[in-house]
Amino acid sequence: MRLSLKQVPTIDDIQVLVRYAERSYLLSRLIATIRGLTEKIECRDGRKTVLVDVGGIYYFESVDKQTYAYCQQIVYQVGLRLYQVKEKLQQYGFVQVSKSCLLNLNMLESVRSLSNGKMVAALSNSEHITISRRYVPELKSAIRKGSQE
């Protein structure tokens, strides 16, 4: 992959042009990452409300009927239920990996099978997320779908 950057003083917005011979998983991840950079989700950080870039969220987790967004170094509370977050952000590379967790595929480093049919996902921030047996096919399908696009 080659990266070319060109400054054009006469344009008023960033333009991304991607040229490719055929669509690949890497390309799909790149597209999801770029789209996720402009998408924001409303979160709470203590008493204040902030808009968080979707591309910077590693995963969402639901605990005691509250949904949390886990970023590099901070955890935000989200005012939506987990299924609502899934519906809103599925197109940006988020996939459900357990009853209470949505994982950002763009932050996925590797997956490893466990002997009980579950898997463990290693994220780029060195965290590990357990993928329950029920959601393993969904994760594999999302990865395959990305590699076929």
The pair of structure tokens assigned to 92 is 């940006």
Is residue 132 classed exposed, middle or buried when 0-12, 13-18 and 19+ CB atoms within 10 A define those classes?
A: middle
Domain, as residue range, for 66: 25-148
Does residue 148 carry a pLDDT above 60?
A: no
Please state the domain count of the chain: 1
The reply to whether 100 falls in a domain is yes
CATH of the domain at 91: 2.40.50.1020
pLDDT at 136: 92
The C-alpha atoms of residue 53 and residue 145 are separated, in whole angstroms, by 24
Model confidence pLDDT, tens digit, residues 25-44 = 778 778 877 877 788 999 99
The pair of structure tokens assigned to 103 is 């994982």
pLDDT at 66: 95
Does residue 147 carry a pLDDT above 70?
A: no
Report the phi/psi class of residue 64: left, alpha or beta, with left for phi > 0 and alpha for psi in -120 to 50: left
The C-alpha atoms of residue 70 and residue 18 are separated, in whole angstroms, by 30
The reply to whether 114 falls in a domain is yes
Going by pLDDT thresholds of 50, 70 and 90, the confidence category of residue 144 is: confident
Does residue 17 carry a pLDDT above 80?
A: yes
The reply to whether 32 falls in a domain is yes
